[in-house]
C-alpha cells in the first residue's frame, strides 16, 4: 500500500519538475532528448598536414598508470564568457580525479611541437557560442601523433552549460582511460542547518562537484538516508513525517512524495534493486528488525530475514542476485551476504570492531563499509567473499559510503567532534579513490551528510 503525502503545493511541485526533470534539463530539442551531439571531422593543421580522427580502440593509459603519473592535458580557453566558464568546469572535473594534470595552451589549431615541449600528452580545443541556445565544439587530440581522437559539437540550452561541460569531461575521461566517466551525475544528501543538538534536516541534491545545490523538502521533519533509483529520477529516503518514521519515495520529475509500504514498526535503510522496480529496507519488530523487499508497482512486501536480531542496511549486488547487510546476530554488528530470496546467509567481516553501512560497487568486485573500533570510525572496502579488506580513511566519524557510477570513487560523510554546546562541530561530504588515493572535500557541501551518488544522467 502506498500513501501519498502532498508535503509540497502543486505550484512547488511543478517548479521542482521544471528545475530537475531529466527531460527538461537540456530541453532544446524534443526529437533528440534535448542535447544534440554532432561528430566533427579533423581539420588541416597550420603545417599543411591533415589528420584523421583516431579509431576508438583501447585506451593507451590505464587508471593505475594515471594514478602514478597523472596525464598532462592542455585545455586552452573555449573563448570569453560562456567559453571560459565551460573550460573551467572541464578542467576542474579532470583535476578532481587526481588522474590528470591540466596545462595551459593557446586557443586555435594546436601547435603540437610546442605542446610536446610542455610535456602534454593530449590537448582539448574548442569554442562556445550562443545566448539562449549554446553551441559548444570540442576536439580532443593526441599530441604525440597529431591525430584527432574525438570531435563533437554539442547544442543545448545555454542555461545548462554546466551539463555540456560535464559531458565533455566524461568524453575526455573515457577516451583517455578506456572507461566511462562520472561527471554528469548528481549526489543526493541531507542538508543540515542549526545548532548541533537541534539540527534541521532537508532532503537535497547537487551536481557531483557541488554546484546547483537545491533542497527538496521543507525541513519540518527529520530526514535521513536518501538513495537514488538506478534507472529513474526517483529517491528513496527515511522521514519522520507526522512523527511516524517511514521510508518514502520522492519523484524528481513531479516533486511528489509517497510512503512506501505499511509496517507496524519503523521502516528505514532503503535501497533500490538494480532494475529500479523494488526497494529493500529494514522494519523494526520488537527489539530487532527484519529485512523486507517492497515492490514499487504493487506495494507488495516480502520478508526475507527473521533472525531475531537487528538486520539492517541491506544493499543489492549489481546483478540483483545477492544482498549484503549488517546484523548483530553473532553478538556484534558485522557484515553478511545472502541470496536475494533470503537464503544462504554467510558472514564476511572478521576484522577488529563493528561493521556497518555496506554498499556494493557497481562493478560488483568490492563492498564498501564503515567500521568502528576503539571509538574511531574507518571507511574501507573488501571483496564480496570478505577477503582483501583495506581501510581507505579514518576519522572521528567517517560514514555513509556511496560509489560513483564507474566504481572508481567513493563519496562519504566526514564529521568532526563537537565541543561544549556543539561548538566546533562540522559535517561535510568528501570523495576518495577506491585505493585510498586523492581524498578531497566537496567544498560547497558543508552542513551535509548521507550522500548518495546517482547513475549517469540520460
Give the pLDDT score at 17: 35
Residues 256 and 152 in one domain: no
Write phi, then psi, for 78 (nearest 5 degrees): -80, 5
CATH number assigned to the domain comprising residue 142: 3.40.50.10070
Q: Is residue 12 part of a domain?
A: no
- Determine the average pLDDT of the residues in 322-335: 97
Q: How confident is the model at residue 458 (pLDDT cuts 50, 70, 90)?
A: low
pLDDT band (50, 70, 90) for residue 55: very low
Does one domain contain both 309 and 435? yes
Is residue 27 scored above 90 in pLDDT? no
- 211 and 156 share a domain? no
CATH number at residue 359: 2.120.10.30
Mean per-residue pLDDT for 154-162?
91
Domain boundary among 149, 177, 205: 177
| pLDDT-based confidence at residue 51 (cuts at 50, 70, 90) | very low
Q: Is residue 158 part of a domain?
A: yes
Task: Judge whether residue 54 has pLDDT over 50.
Answer: no
Question: Does 361 reside within a domain?
Answer: yes
Q: Does residue 29 sit within a domain?
A: no
Q: Does the residue 14 lie in any domain?
A: no
pLDDT score at 43: 56
Q: Are residues 241 and 194 in the same domain?
A: yes
Find, among 226, 301, 310, the residue nearest to 263 by Cα.
301
The predicted structure's pLDDT at residue 197: 78
pTM score above 0.85? yes
Q: Within this chain, do residues 445 and 390 fall inside the same structural domain, yes or no? A: yes
Whether 158 and 227 share a structural domain: no
pLDDT value at residue 310: 97
Q: Is the pLDDT of residue 50 over 50?
A: no
Are both 78 and 190 inside the same structural domain?
no
Split into its structural domains, the chain has a count of: 2
* Mean pLDDT of the 354-377 span: 96
Each residue of 186-240: pLDDT tens digit?
Answer: 999 999 998 877 899 999 999 999 999 999 999 999 999 999 999 999 999 999 9
pLDDT in tens, 337-352: 999 999 999 999 999 9
Domain that holds residue 45: 35-177
What pLDDT is stored for residue 49 in this prediction? 38
234: in domain: yes
For residue 18, is pLDDT > 50?
no
- Average pLDDT of the residues in 22-35: 36
- Regarding whether 248 and 379 lie in a shared domain, the answer is yes
Structure confidence at residue 427 (pLDDT): 93
129 & 212 share domain = no
Taking all residues of the chain, what is their mean pLDDT, rounded to a whole number?
A: 88
Dist. CA 280–CA 45, nearest whole Å: 57
Cβ contact 246:260 at 8 Å: yes
Amino acid at each position: 500500500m502506498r500513501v501519498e503525502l502532498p508535503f509540497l503545493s502543486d505550484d512547488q511541485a511543478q517548479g521542482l519538475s521544471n528545475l530537475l526533470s531529466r527531460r527538461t534539463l537540456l530541453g532544446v530539442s524534443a526529437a533528440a532528448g534535448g542535447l544534440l551531439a554532432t561528430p566533427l571531422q579533423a581539420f588541416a593543421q597550420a603545417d599543411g598536414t591533415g589528420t584523421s580522427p583516431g579509431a576508438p580502440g583501447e585506451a593507451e593509459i590505464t587508471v593505475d598508470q594515471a594514478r602514478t603519473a597523472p596525464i598532462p592535458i592542455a585545455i586552452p580557453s573555449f573563448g570569453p564568457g560562456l567559453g571560459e566558464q565551460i573550460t573551467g568546469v572541464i578542467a576542474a572535473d579532470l583535476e578532481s580525479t587526481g588522474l590528470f594534470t591540466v596545462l595551459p595552451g593557446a586557443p586555435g589549431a594546436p601547435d603540437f611541437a610546442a605542446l610536446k615541449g610542455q610535456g602534454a600528452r593530449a590537448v582539448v580545443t574548442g569554442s562556445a557560442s550562443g545566448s539562449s541556445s549554446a553551441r559548444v565544439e570540442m576536439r580532443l587530440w593526441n599530441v604525440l601523433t597529431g591525430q584527432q581522437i574525438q570531435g563533437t559539437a554539442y547544442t543545448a540550452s545555454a542555461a545548462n552549460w554546466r551539463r555540456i561541460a560535464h559531458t565533455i569531461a566524461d568524453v575526455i575521461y573515457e577516451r583517455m582511460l578506456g572507461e566511462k566517466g562520472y561527471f554528469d551525475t548528481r549526489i543526493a544528501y541531507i542538508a543540515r542547518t542549526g545548532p548541533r543538538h537541534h539540527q534541521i534536516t532537508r532532503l537535497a541534491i547537487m551536481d557531483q562537484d557541488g554546484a546547483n545545490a537545491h533542497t527538496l523538502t521543507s525541513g519540518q521533519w527529520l530526514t535521513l538516508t536518501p538513495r537514488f533509483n538506478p534507472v529513474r529520477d526517483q529517491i528513496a529516503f527515511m522521514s519522520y513525517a507526522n512523527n511516524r518514521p517511514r521510508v518514502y519515495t520522492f519523484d524528481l520529475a513531479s516533486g511528489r512524495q509517497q510512503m512506501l509500504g505499511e509496517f507496524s514498526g519503523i521502516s528505514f535503510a532503503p535501497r533500490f534493486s538494480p532494475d529500479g522496480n523494488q526497494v529493500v529496507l529494514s522494519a523494526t519488530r520488537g527489539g530487532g528488525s527484519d529485512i523486507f523487499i517492497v515492490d514499487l508497482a504493487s506495494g507488495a512486501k516480502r520478508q526475507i530475514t527473521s533472525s531475531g536480531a537487528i538486520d539492517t542496511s541491506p544493499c543489492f549486488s549489481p546483478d540483483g542476485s545477492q544482498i549484503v547487510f549488517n546484523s548483530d546476530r553473532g553478538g556484534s554488528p558485522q557484515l553478511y551476504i545472502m541470496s536475494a530470496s533470503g537464503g544462504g546467509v554467510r558472514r564476511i567481516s572478521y576484522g577488529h570492531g563493528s561493521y556497518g553501512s555496506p554498499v556494493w560497487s557497481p562493478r560488483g568486485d568490492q563492498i564498501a563499509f564503515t567500521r568502528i573500533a576503539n571509538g574511531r570510525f574507518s571507511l574501507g572496502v573488501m571483496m564480496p567473499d570478505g577477503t582483501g579488506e583495506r581501510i581507505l580513511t579514518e576519522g572521528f566519524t567517517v560514514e555513509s559510503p556511496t560509489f560513483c557510477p564507474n566504481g572508481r570513487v567513493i563519496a562519504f560523510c566526514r564529521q568532526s567532534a563537537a565541543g561544549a554546546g556543539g561548538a566546533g562541530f562540522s559535517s561535510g561530504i568528501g570523495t576518495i579513490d577506491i585505493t585510498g588515493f586523492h581524498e578531497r572535500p566537496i567544498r560547497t557541501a558543508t552542513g551535509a551528510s548521507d550522500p548518495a551518488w546517482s547513475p549517469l544522467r540520460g
